[in-house]
Every structure is written in structure tokens, then in C-alpha cells.
Structure 1
Amino acid sequence: MKISVPVNHNFYEEAPIRESALGEAFSVRKKGIEKLKEIFSSLYDLKVGSEKLNQIKILSFKRNHPFEVDEERLILKLYCKERPDQDKEYFVQTGLYAGVLFYKGCKINITTKYGDSFLKRMLNFVNDIYVDNEQIKAQKDKTENQFLFIIAYLFIQSLEKAAVLGLPQLYKKHQEKGYKVRGRIDFTAYLNRDIPFQGKLSTTFRERKYVQEVVDVLFLALRKLERLFGKEIHARLLGLSQLLKQHYSGIFSSYETIQRAKKHQSINNPLYAGFKKVLEYAEIILMDNDLLPDDDNKQLATTGYLFDIAELFELYMEKLLSRNLPDWQVSSQVDLPIYQRQFFARSIFPDIVLEHKITGKVVVFDAKFKKMELLNRDVDRNDLHQIHSYAGYYRSQLSAIGLLYPLSREIDTQVAYSKTIYGINDNEINFMIDGILVHENQSMNELIKSEEEFVGRITSLLNAN
């Protein structure tokens, strides 16, 4: 049984599902409908920090999260409401985490709702790993294909960094009988086996060897990505791929092999600590569909993996602006300390800050991975207040502020741009709503054109100030 729903869905409860239409909405039969009702009736609420996340892998594109400790971030909420003289209404709400969850035999796909081109393009910009090759094999499940792109990116990025100091190795003790002395002579073996002396001596020595479980898991993960996406997917790891192939045992890694690799003592060595994350990604790649529990399994634990898509979009916008605005220094998640001498001291973190390299003028953007059809309700009140709070911090340095979105409609600067903040004429600080026009069936060329148009609008605005 599967439920598929996009990120940032149904915030205003605008898409209720009537009880009579529950089976049609999720393409399930009568038996599945009863199970769905049970899940919805239990008020399934999954948020960041919840104990339900213990068996869920949350994969990040950044090292640090500047969120407040007590900040609640919705992942998924399933619930129902009674309506007088009507069917029950069932609701699915999602936040900004995409991925795959398994709960009570139900597979829940939280999709990005945009096409593969946009996801690939964001990944390309984040780390210059190009996975948008036209020869990539099509997958039966496009939703999972999206997630595999993300996992492939994270796996390759982390493996490239971790392997700088080499693959995990351990010293192993070896015994050898020969004409040359290697290491030290094994006198016990000499007395027991080498008398009368025949010219050969038994010696014992220690030799560094690659950890076989780790080699096997990494090699098979790369091979699987190669089958799915073509050899270009790991072009930057060609030398490492050849080394793994050379030392591969030839035995397919089972679940137990993967667990032994993840728990191997060599990974505790600070030199190889980076392989902890690498092996987590490799496990997802190799296990793939095996993550789904058996339908007869009655455990209540939720398993699966999730990605912070908002974080990916933010990094994409930062890189896009950085590469196209050479006169500006572009930074992300800048720490702005406020009230440092008071008991309520804290920091605020604008997503993207542009500072002109000569004049010192500042432009601040917040990137929001939310629906934007240029309707009033699409601009969240908290987001609007948040971006304006940065204006007060930078004051005279500030040239412009704005919110950036994946746009569902072409932007009209006449209604989306204001020459002053708050729309009042006592300042010359620009405010705008803008972003990249994206849609589900968009080609890569169309997306690139949309990027160029966006950069052109921002460049014109900056040059005018």
C-alpha cells in the first residue's frame, strides 16, 4: 500500500479527502482502506525532534542546522475530522522534507512535485556533480528515481571527501615460510617444523590491509549507481572505483555485511571517520526496496529516509547567484548576533547575504521552497516578517531584500517588486518576490533559460542601485 504526496502540501487544509473517496485517492482496495483509516484515525504526527525519528535516516546537505532548539518542523501529519451530516474528511499535511517512509506496512512517498530536471539541476550546482546525462536509464517509479539522484549525490560527495586519506585499513598478522626473513622469526614454528634446517625460515609480520567489508559495500554501491545512471555518475571517482574493483572479494554484500562494515573498528579511527556517513548512504543504495517491512509486521516503528529539500534549494540559489554576480561576495546562513548583553541574546540567520566587494552595500535573500503562484496567501506571514527583520539589522548598508521561490507562474516585476520596503516612500531599499520558473515537465534547456532570466532581473536591480 502506497501514499504519494508532495512536500509543503495542504497547509491550509485545502485538499480534504472524503471517506467515500479514500480508496480512489490512494489507489487501494477495500482491505487497504481499513488500514488507511486506522493510520489516519491514530493522528500520525511526525516532526523534527520526535522519538519516532529514531529509525529514520535524515540526510543533510549541510554540516550545521541553525534552527532554534525548540523550533518545530513538520515532516508528515495524517489525521481525520468528523463533519456534521457528512463523510469523515481525511487530511495529509507535509513540511519541507522529501523521502520515503514505511509505517504499519504502508509506504509513504513525499515527493518534490517538480520534475527531475529541477532536482538534477540543484544537485549539479551544489557540488558540480553532473547527473543530468541524457542516457540515464528510466526508472519505473519516478518518485524513487528522484530520491536515488539525491542519495547518489550525497554518497559520491561524501566518498570523495572521505577517501582523500585513503580507504580504511587495519594491520593484520601474517605467517610466511621462505628463504628471506620478513618481520621476525617465529621461533616456536622453527623448533616445531624447521628442524632439521632446510634453508627456509618461518617468519611473522604485520601488514596493512583494506577492510574487506568496507571495500565490498563501496564497490557494489558504485556499481549499482553505474547501472542506474551510467558511468558518468562517478567520473570523479574513477581511480577509487578501479582500486575498489581490484580489491573486491567477488561476494555480494548481504545486510549482515553492511552492518559489519558500518560497525567495523577501523571506522572509529579519526582518519576514517568520514566513512560513517558514506556507509549510511551505501546502505540505502544497496537495500533500496528492501526497506519496506513485511505486511505482516505489526511493529509501530517508522523507518525510511528523508531529505531537507528546502536546504537543497537554498544552496542552489546561493551557488547560482555566486557564479553569476562576480562583483558580490555571496554567503549563506550568516550568523547575526543580537542583544548579546541581555539574557535573551541569540542570533538570526538570513539564508543568503550579498555584499558588494567595493561599496560594501548589502542585499539579503531568504530562499523558500514553497508554492508560489503569485497569490497573496502564497507569501507566509512569518516569512515576510522574518525577511524584514534583517532590514533593521543592516540599516544603512542595505540595498535590497527579497524572498526567492520556485515559481509556478512567470514573474511580473510590476506587482512582485517594490522600490521601497513596506511600500512607503521614506527609504530607497528595494523589496522583491522572485525566483526560478519551474514545472513538472520542464526540459533542462527551459530551466537554464529560466535561470538566465532570473539572474538578469537581479542584475538589473543591483545595477540600478
Structure 2
Amino acid sequence: MSRQPIILAAKDCCAFLEQEGHADAIQYFLTTQSKNNIFHFNVSKEKRIDESPIISFNYQDGKWYAGRYVGEAYFNYKGQEYQITITPRFGNTQLFHMLEEVFNVRFSESNQRISKQKDIQFIIKKIIAFLWLNMLSKANKHGLPRSNKKFTYKGSKIRGRLNVRASILPMYTENNVVSNYWEKTPNEPILKILKQAYSILKYEYGLAHIKTSRAATNALEQLFSSNVSTGYLTENEYCKIVYKNIYKSFKPVVDLSWDIIRRKNFGNNNSEDTNGVSFFLDMAEIWELYLKSIIKKKIAPHGWILRNDVIQTYSNKDFKRKLIPDIVFQKENNVLVWDAKYKRMEYAYYDYDRADFFQIHTYINHYDKNFNVIAGGLLYPLSKEYSREVAYRNYSESIFGEGQDDTQFFIDGIELIHIDKESVKKQEELFLDRVHLRISKDSIAHV
């Protein structure tokens, strides 16, 4: 077996640089990969069904292309070790920027510089550990989750409420009475998940080397001072967790913790592969969460409210399906409907996917039955310069361009040609200004 692995590298949604002679190895990798190796931050199980392959073959140019995921994997094929490496096509700076926006955290410049020298797997694990720590500290504003637990007390005094039925016999035989009382105790399922996740993050994600804030340190001290068993929690117990209103802020960090626990073993399905590391982030998921966050900040002050809809269709039929639009905002009876697409967009004819157009028009038609749909469309990370000419070619004043309604339809996004932070922020602001002008003045003349 060769000591040095053959590296097959690509940027997400782009062709692999060196693939000649390795087609069989790539095909083997695809057949042994599990979608459980894809890490999710906060997307419903229904949407995960639509996951695309990590790598796919393009019959137009006869090349293998990376999908929308970034990460690394090692595998053995016919005695040769291979390393699949997929990095963000817009660079780590944009990845950090999106994560900062989504999770309301700030990665220090020193962390970003160090990360550039490390492999993508190291970066991903470090990011997850950092985000987990920040999410825990922010969720802990009212202390760790507690729940009321019923206890029974038997003695000569009453503690809480007297249990008359249970006291009849002890009162005559022991001169005691039975009473019931309630106490607030740590929520065992939640704290058990958090403890298990911390242990994994500490030893496998480098959490111990991350500088913690005072709030994070306080949350960890509370976590490990609580008297909770360390037994394994089942999937069914996790799904049954109920959050009181005061502790709802813990749900994101608990969901992230459960994903960390489930993915403790990152090996692929090849039993011969002792180095089988396979761990990927879904950039499409991060892109969607990022767009939701920045658009909400821009238009929420003007009365728009973000909706999270799961629409059940044909509920009593064998072909029942759920419609889950990515981004929906409502203001009174007006609605905005967008789908976030983390695909290549250079304004070439083949960049406009037919299935994506059918999907977004289905969403718009559904809302149009009960609401006034102001605008809808597809939002991409743009790989070419956005101009007024591009805006005109990618905008329609009505659905299907027939002029029979006033629902605007457009293709737009954020230009990410330049990867420095200042340029990214500028292009983000230009995109938000275009969106706001369209939905408020209903005219491309203002774009």
C-alpha cells in the first residue's frame, strides 16, 4: 500500500483538478459513503431528503464535479489510499462571514489566519466547537434547563400536599402520613446530551484549546456541577424533549449536540479503511440560513415577519408530499417567497435549472391562493459581476412574463468574485438594497 495518499481536490460545485485515471476510485468512494457523514446545523429532516451527492459526473464535459459540500475524506481502493478534499469555492473568508452572521458570533483574525494553514477537516471541527461553545453560553441566560419533578415523603410531618389515600394505612400502622411535593431538578435528557457532546468536542474537536468567555465558563461549570447520569440517550428520548418557554433558547445547541453525538464515528462504510474519516458541511444549508438572517435584518424593521412553513399536500393520498420553501416573509396579506440555491451562477443558459424553476413557481402558486405575492425568485452566490444589464435580463414584472399579475419574479444574489471581507460586505449591502427597493417600490427602475 502506498504511504502517500493520492489527493483528489476540488472547490465545491467545481470540477476536480486531477481526476484522470481515478474514475473507478471516485465511483467506489460514492458507493461507500453515507449521508450520515454530512453535518447539519439547523435544517429539518424533511429538507434533508433532497440532499445531493457529494460528487457527481457531468456527462456534458465528461468530468467529475464536487457537490455543494465541503470537507475531507480518506479511503482505500485497491491498496491505494486516497484523500478527497473539497474546499469552499469562495474561500474561507466568506465561510467565516456567513457563519458569523448566522450564529451571531465573531471569529478572531488570529483564528482565521491559523485556519488557513490547516486542512479543511481541522477548520470544520474547530468551527463547530467554537459555535457550540458560543451557543451554549448565549442559551444559558436563565441558567441550565430544569423541570419540576414529583417526590413522595413519608413521615410525621406533611411536606407539600397530603396524599390522603396513600396515608390511610401508614397513619394507623406507623403513625406517619404520606405527602407529595415538587422540586425543580436538572432536565436530565438535555443535560445528558450537552455533557456527552462536550466530551466529544473536548477530545476530538480541540475544544479544550479554545479560549472561553466568562459566560461560557460559567455555563460549563453549571453543567458539570449538576448531578445527572452519564448513560446513553436514545433517539426516541431525544425526540421527546419538550422545552419550556424560558428554556427554548437551548434547542439549537441541544440539536447541534445531538448531531455531534450521532457523528462521533466519522469513518466511511469500508471496514478495511482504518483511517476512514468522512465529514462534510452542507454549504447550501449555510447559504440558506445566511440569506434568511441578512434579509430579516434588512426588512423586519419595515414590518416583514419571517415564516417557517411546512406545507402538507395530498395528505390522505399515497403521493402526499411536503412543500418547504426556503425563505418566506409576510407583511399583513403580502408575501415574499424565495428559494436559496447554492449552485454555480454565471448567467449561462445551463445555470438556470429547470427543476428549480418548477419548484419556486409551485411555492408561489400555493401562496397566491390566500395571499398577495409581491415577489418571488431564486437567490444564488454569484460568480460573475452583477450589473444593471444583468438585472434587466433576470427580472420579470409578472409571473411567467405574461403581464397578467403584479408578482415580480427575479434571479438575484450576492456577487462573491472578491473574497476579502470588505468587498463581501459591500456586495451584501448592494444585494439587500436591490431586494428592499423591489419589494417596496415594485419597480426594476430603482435597481
> Could you tell me how far apart the structure 2 residues matched to 1:63 and 1:37 are?
32
Spell out the pairing of 1:312-461 with structure 2 (5 A cutoff).
312-326=286-300, 327-331=302-306, 333-340=308-315, 342-356=317-331, 358=332, 360-395=333-368, 397-412=372-387, 413-439=391-417, 442-461=419-438
Identity of aligned residues (%): 22
Give the distance between the partners of 2:104 and 2:14, measured in 1 at CA: 30
Equivalent position amino acid for 2:287 in 1: F
CA contact (8 A) 2:378 2:412 kept: yes
Equivalents in 2 of 1:336, 1:454: separation in Å?
A: 28
Q: 1:45 to 1:334 in 2, by over 3 A?
A: same
Aligned length: 362
**Aligned pair partner of 1:93 in 58, 61, 65:** 65
TM-score, normalised to structure 2's length?
A: 0.67
Cα pair distance change 1:146/1:330, threshold 3 Å:
farther
Kept in 2: contact 1:43–1:78 (CA 8 A)? no
Deviation of 1:310 after TM superposition, in Å, equals 0.6
Deviation readout 1:125-159 (Å, 9 max, x if unpaired): 2221222x223242423534542454235533564
Aligned in 2, Cα 1:304/1:219: closer, same or farther, shift over 3 Å? closer
Q: Structure 2: which amino acid aligns with 1:45? A: L
Task: Quote the RMSD (CA, aligned, Å).
Answer: 4.3
**Cα distance change of structure 1 residues 124 and 347 upon mapping to structure 2, 3 Å threshold:** same
Query: Secondary structure of the equivalent of 1:265?
Result: coil
- Post-superposition offset of 1:361: 0.7
- C-alpha distance in structure 2 between counterparts of 1:18 and 1:219, whole Å: 34
Tell me: CA distance 1:449–1:282, structure 2 relative to 1, closer, same or farther (3 Å). farther
2:257 is the alignment partner of 1:278: yes
Q: Are the structure 2 counterparts of residues 118 and 276 from structure 1 closer, same or farther at C-alpha, using a change threshold of 3 Å? A: closer
Matched residue type, 1:429: T
Tell me, yes or no, if the aligned pair for 2:93 and 2:420 is still in contact at 8 Å: yes
The letter of the residue matching 2:129 is A
The residue aligned with 1:53 is 34
- Determine the C-alpha separation between the residues in 1 that align with 2:201 and 2:372: 52
Amino acid of the residue matched to residue 343 of structure 2?
Answer: K
The aligned residue for residue 265 of structure 1 is 231
Matches of 1:216 and 1:145, distance apart in 2? 17
In the alignment, what sits opposite 1:239? 218
Structure 1 residue 242 displacement after superposition: 6.1
Would the alpha carbon gap of residues 218 and 329 (structure 1) be closer, same or farther in structure 2, given more than 3 Å must change?
same
Give secondary structure in 1 for the equivalent of 2:287: helix
1:79, 1:92 within 8 Å by CA — same for their partners in 2? yes
Q: Please, which of 243, 263, 279 is the counterpart of residue 305 of structure 1? A: 279
Q: Which whole-Å deviations, capped at 9, do the CAs of 1:247-303 have from their partners, x for residues lacking one?
A: 9xxxxxxxxxxxxxxx94165687999779638749989x9xxx799xxx9449954
What residue ranges of structure 2 are gaps of 5+ in the alignment? 147-185, 242-249, 443-447
Quote the Cα distance in structure 1 between the aligned partners of 2:438 and 2:104: 28
> What TM-score do you get using the length of structure 1 for normalisation?
0.64
1:9 is matched with 14
2:167: which partner in 1?
none
SS of aligned partner of 1:45: helix
With 263-272 and 341-350 compared, the bigger mean Cα shift is at: 263-272
- Indicate how the Cα distance of structure 1 residues 432 and 153 shifts in structure 2: closer, same or farther if over 3 A, else same: farther
For the residue of structure 1 that corresponds to 2:144, the secondary structure is helix
**Residue 110 of structure 2: SS of its match in structure 1?**
coil
> What residue ranges of structure 1 are gaps of 5+ in the alignment?
23-35, 82-88, 167-207, 248-262
Supply the distance in 2 between the matched residues of 1:60 and 1:113 (Cα, whole angstroms).
19
Residue 94 of structure 2: SS of its match in structure 1?
helix
